[in-house]
């Protein structure tokens, strides 16, 4: 990332690139938190994942929901004190979590403390590390003055004995883990200083009489915008917003046209960015619900306009007098999932939602407006019932003059939470600076040094081979544990040389036993394969650091640049993939298909599924669809190609051209 003109943003970026300290990035509405997130995703060198507490927030952030990514229940979970998580993952998910370096949680103000404690326990388990979050750095983005966690009273009654507040900062992990609070202060959304000052007072629940008077000057009784005047009403309840939109649409003459979304794969209903059946008429007021990714940047999420004409599946929207019409066609939203691909964490598309990036916009709930910006808005906060609602609604507006109040604002409409005020007050004095950054960089170096000699992940793999490798526990695990307690960069070359000799001896013993292991069972051979992979990758690190001094840059470069030992090369040696020629043909077909469809190869077919097809040689679509990882949808989509490859392979090995059989 180029050096920021905003020094606070630059400090946040430096922390995220050169330490593993937990960062809470906060700031008033409109200070660039979302922009910072999007820039970081494009430029960070760390293996990262983005999650958020709700489906809409996750789609807006370009990530997954927390509960989906970590496979969590929505039920409250009391801290048990267990050292290991009881959530069970597939081998692929375990590898992904073990590789994670940076976890970004957007809209952190809405995350309960028990959820953060579950994440801590899961990452410590999968990383095999006692560090908070297993050493994974967390970037927590949000404003505690905005919307708070949605928690039912019966759930809170379960959690109350363990947590002081329902906010993330009361989690047990953050009572122990060092973290920095970085507050963005420059407001980009509002330019009027008087309005910025009023919003600050609302944010801190200290609205003065003079500010209240200025705010209420925007109360216009019985205000009715003209049909061509793009005002949007922000209200507290969904039923009110729906009623306003329906009533306005019904007043328009002309025919109603329905645009139906196309939904493929997995896409949760609570994350739909707009209606699946979008009803529009000429003259309807609409809001864009996606940014224009083209070079022209004609629209953004929250931009309001009027439907001027409809031609087939294209809707034309006029945004302001004199501006050219915007031709709007269906766009795609992706339901992101994360997958480990070699040494990198890649985003994969688990499903998609294709629809016009529009929704009726005479009204919207305050909850759904979070993160949006409006030039003209009618604010209805007379029925505010939750912390932060009034602030979120008022701060959506660019200017005071672009805002109209449906009812006068009273002091009781500004609802705050004393727990948030206390937290902000306590943390405000401990701002990080250049000196604390250097201290945390050194802590990160020592952490990476302990990771180099962290053999805990080997312990679980070792239990199946203790009889073959009886000395590993005493020669490696116990010695490494002593080094980690007092990590010393000056002794790192000597330590690496010691462990290198022990690991080479262990892998030689395993190689000698491979024929025996293959004969025992495929499962045992596969476990030996995993053990060898892990040992080989660790040997390569030890080879380097037995010759070179340990530095943060050297360690990260070796982790990212060294050629990885891939499991498939050993599976070939173990002859664990039947019909290997077909297996290779399937993988080649997978690569070409993925390139043509512009998706990740694993979205077409996983290596495990390809191996299952090669082993079972399904002859019909029905038997193909029964293979795990295929199912009826993929069988219908790719079945003809896959069965064609199987038949070609069978003809090749049989040396004859058998008559074509039915796919069914």
Is residue 497 one of the residues assigned to a domain? yes
341 pLDDT more than 70: no
- Give residue 642's pLDDT band: very low, low, confident or very high (50, 70, 90): very high
Last residue of a domain, one of 172, 189, 206: 189
Average pLDDT over residues 238-265: 90
Is residue 439 one of the residues assigned to a domain? no
pLDDT for 278 equals 94
pLDDT for 598 equals 59
Residue 587 and residue 566 share a domain: no
Q: Can you tell me the distance from the alpha carbon of 526 to that of 461, in angstroms, rounded to the nearest whole number?
A: 11
pLDDT for 264 equals 87
H helical segments located in 163-291: 172-176, 193-203, 209-216, 238-251
526 pLDDT more than 70: no
Which helix (H) or strand (E) segment is 354 a member of?
strand 344-355
Q: Give one word for 358, left, alpha or beta, with left for phi > 0 and alpha for psi -120 to 50.
A: beta
Is residue 435 one of the residues assigned to a domain? no
What does the mean pLDDT of the chain come to? 83
- Report the Cα 160 to chain-centroid distance in Å: 28
- Give residue 617's pLDDT band: very low, low, confident or very high (50, 70, 90): very high
List, in order, residues 6 or more apart from 440 with CB less than 8 Å away: 15, 19, 21, 178, 180, 432
Average pLDDT over residues 418-440: 85
Is residue 422 one of the residues assigned to a domain? no
Average pLDDT over residues 55-83: 79
Closest Cα partner for 409 from 239, 609, 214?
214
pLDDT for 580 equals 82
Q: For residue 310, what are the β-bridge partners?
A: 315
402 SS3 class: coil
Which tokens in the block code for residue 199?
Answer: 């919003």
Query: Using an 8 Å Cβ cutoff, are 26 and 181 in contact?
Result: yes
When computed from its CA atoms, the radius of gyration of the chain, rounded to whole angstroms, is: 29
Residue 210 and residue 147 share a domain: no
pLDDT for 504 equals 87
Residue 479 and residue 393 share a domain: no
6 pLDDT more than 50: yes
Residue 268 and residue 120 share a domain: no
Residue 267 and residue 135 share a domain: no
pLDDT for 141 equals 95
Q: Can you tell me the distance from the alpha carbon of 298 to that of 308, in angstroms, rounded to the nearest whole number?
A: 16
pLDDT for 282 equals 93
List, in order, residues 6 or more apart from 90 with CB less than 8 Å away: none
Residue 636 and residue 493 share a domain: no
- Give residue 659's pLDDT band: very low, low, confident or very high (50, 70, 90): very low
pLDDT for 536 equals 85
Is residue 423 one of the residues assigned to a domain? no
570 pLDDT more than 60: no
Last residue of a domain, one of 129, 158, 189: 189
pLDDT for 311 equals 92
Residue 319 and residue 258 share a domain: yes
Is residue 433 one of the residues assigned to a domain? no
Going by their DSSP bridges, the two strands 277-280 and 358-360 should be labelled as unpaired
- Give residue 293's pLDDT band: very low, low, confident or very high (50, 70, 90): confident
SS3 content of the chain, % helix, strand, coil (to 5): 50, 15, 35
CATH number of the domain residue 618 falls in: 1.10.150.80
- Give residue 646's pLDDT band: very low, low, confident or very high (50, 70, 90): very high
Q: What backbone torsions phi and psi does residue 359 show, to the nearest 5 degrees?
A: -150, 155
43 pLDDT more than 80: yes
pLDDT for 149 equals 86
Closest Cα partner for 552 from 440, 389, 404, 400?
440
Residue 365 and residue 267 share a domain: yes
Residue 227 and residue 353 share a domain: yes
Average pLDDT over residues 143-147: 83
Is residue 254 one of the residues assigned to a domain? yes
pLDDT for 550 equals 93
Least trusted range by pLDDT, from 201-215, 422-436, 502-516: 502-516
Q: Can you tell me the distance from the alpha carbon of 602 to that of 610, in angstroms, rounded to the nearest whole number?
A: 10
Average pLDDT over residues 40-62: 83
333 pLDDT more than 50: yes
3 pLDDT more than 60: no
Whether this prediction's pTM lies above 0.85 is answered by no
Of the two residues 508 and 449, the one the predictor is more confident about is 449
- Give residue 574's pLDDT band: very low, low, confident or very high (50, 70, 90): very low
- Give residue 512's pLDDT band: very low, low, confident or very high (50, 70, 90): confident
Average pLDDT over residues 622-645: 87
Q: Can you tell me the distance from the alpha carbon of 574 to that of 182, in angstroms, rounded to the nearest whole number?
A: 52
Is residue 429 one of the residues assigned to a domain? no
pLDDT in tens, 350-367: 788 999 999 998 998 888
457 pLDDT more than 90: no
571 pLDDT more than 50: no
Residue 201 and residue 183 share a domain: no
- Give residue 564's pLDDT band: very low, low, confident or very high (50, 70, 90): very low
Domain span at residue 512 reads 444-575
336 pLDDT more than 90: no
pLDDT in tens, 384-400: 767 778 888 898 888 89
CATH number of the domain residue 22 falls in: 3.40.50.300
- Report the Cα 286 to chain-centroid distance in Å: 29
Last residue of a domain, one of 530, 554, 575: 575
Closest Cα partner for 128 from 105, 102, 95?
95
Average pLDDT over residues 237-264: 90
pLDDT in tens, 103-136: 999 999 989 999 999 999 999 988 888 899 999 9
Residue 150 and residue 205 share a domain: no
Task: Specify the residue for token string 């040396």.
Answer: 655
Of the two residues 632 and 434, the one the predictor is more confident about is 434
pLDDT for 440 equals 95
How many structural domains is the chain composed of?
A: 4
Q: Can you tell me the distance from the alpha carbon of 636 to that of 376, in angstroms, rounded to the nearest whole number?
A: 49
15 pLDDT more than 90: yes
Least trusted range by pLDDT, from 307-316, 321-330, 436-445, 591-600: 591-600
Residue 612 and residue 509 share a domain: no
């Amino acid at each position: 990332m180029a050096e920021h003109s905003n020094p606070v943003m630059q400090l946040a970026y430096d922390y995220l690139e050169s330490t593993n300290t937990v960062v809470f990035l906060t700031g008033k509405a409109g200070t660039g938190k979302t922009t910072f997130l999007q820039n970081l995703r494009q430029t960070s060198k760390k293996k990262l994942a983005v999650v958020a507490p709700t489906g809409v927030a996750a789609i807006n952030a370009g990530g997954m929901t927390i509960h989906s990514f970590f496979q969590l229940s929505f039920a409250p979970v009391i801290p048990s004190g267990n050292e290991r998580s009881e959530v069970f993952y597939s081998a692929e998910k375990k590898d992904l979590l073990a590789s994670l370096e940076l976890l970004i949680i957007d809209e952190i103000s809405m995350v309960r403390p028990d959820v953060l404690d579950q994440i801590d326990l899961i990452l410590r388990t999968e990383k095999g590390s006692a560090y908070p979050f297993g050493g994974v750095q967390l970037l927590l983005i949000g404003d505690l003055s905005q919307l708070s966690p949605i928690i039912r009273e019966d759930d809170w009654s379960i959690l109350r004995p363990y947590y002081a507040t329902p906010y993330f900062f009361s989690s047990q992990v953050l009572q122990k883990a060092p973290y920095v609070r970085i507050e963005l202060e420059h407001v980009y959304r509002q330019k009027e200083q008087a309005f910025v000052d009023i919003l600050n007072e609302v944010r801190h629940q200290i609205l003065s009489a003079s500010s209240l008077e200025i705010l209420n000057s925007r109360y216009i009784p019985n205000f009715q915008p003209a049909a061509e005047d793009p005002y949007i009403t922000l209200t507290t309840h969904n039923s009110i917003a729906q009623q306003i939109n329906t009533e306005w649409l019904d007043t328009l003459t002309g025919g109603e046209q329905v645009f139906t979304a196309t939904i493929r794969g997995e896409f949760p209903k609570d994350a739909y960015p707009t209606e699946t059946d979008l009803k529009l008429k000429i003259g309807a007021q609409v809001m864009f619900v996606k940014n224009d990714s083209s070079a022209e940047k004609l629209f953004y999420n929250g931009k309001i306009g009027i439907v001027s004409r409809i031609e087939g599946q294209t809707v034309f929207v006029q945004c302001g007098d004199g501006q050219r019409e915007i031709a709007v066609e269906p766009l795609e939203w992706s339901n992101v999932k994360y997958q480990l691909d070699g040494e990198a964490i890649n985003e994969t598309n688990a499903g998609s939602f294709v629809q016009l990036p529009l929704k009726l916009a005479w009204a919207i709930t305050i909850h759904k407006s979070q993160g949006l910006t409006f030039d003209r808005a009618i604010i209805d906060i007379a029925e505010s019932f939750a912390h932060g609602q009034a602030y979120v609604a008022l701060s959506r507006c660019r200017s005071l003059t672009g805002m109209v109040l449906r009812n006068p604002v009273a002091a009781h409409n500004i609802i705050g939470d004393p727990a948030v005020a206390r937290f902000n007050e306590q943390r405000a004095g401990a701002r990080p600076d250049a000196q604390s950054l250097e201290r945390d960089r050194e802590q990160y170096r020592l952490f990476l040094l302990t990771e180099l000699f962290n053999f805990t992940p080997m312990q679980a793999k070792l239990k199946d081979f203790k009889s073959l490798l009886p000395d590993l526990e005493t020669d490696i695990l116990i010695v490494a544990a002593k080094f980690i307690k007092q990590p010393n960069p000056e002794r790192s070359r000597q330590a690496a040389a010691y462990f290198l000799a022990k690991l080479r001896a262990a892998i030689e013993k395993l190689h000698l036993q491979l024929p025996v292991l293959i004969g025992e069972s495929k499962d045992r051979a596969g476990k030996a394969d995993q053990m060898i992979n892990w040992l080989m990758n660790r040997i390569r690190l030890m080879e380097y650091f037995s010759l070179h001094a340990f530095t943060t840059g050297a360690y990260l470069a070796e982790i990212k640049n060294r050629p990885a030992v891939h499991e498939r090369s050993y599976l070939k040696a173990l002859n664990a993939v039947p019909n290997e020629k077909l297996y290779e043909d399937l993988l080649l077909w997978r690569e070409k298909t993925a390139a043509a469809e512009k998706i990740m190869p694993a979205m077409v077919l996983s290596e495990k599924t390809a191996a299952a097809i090669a082993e079972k040689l399904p002859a019909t679509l029905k038997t193909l669809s029964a293979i795990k990882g295929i199912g009826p949808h993929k069988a219908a989509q790719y079945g003809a190609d896959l069965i064609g490859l199987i038949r070609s392979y069978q003809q090749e090995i049989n040396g004859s051209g058998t008559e074509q059989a039915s796919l069914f």
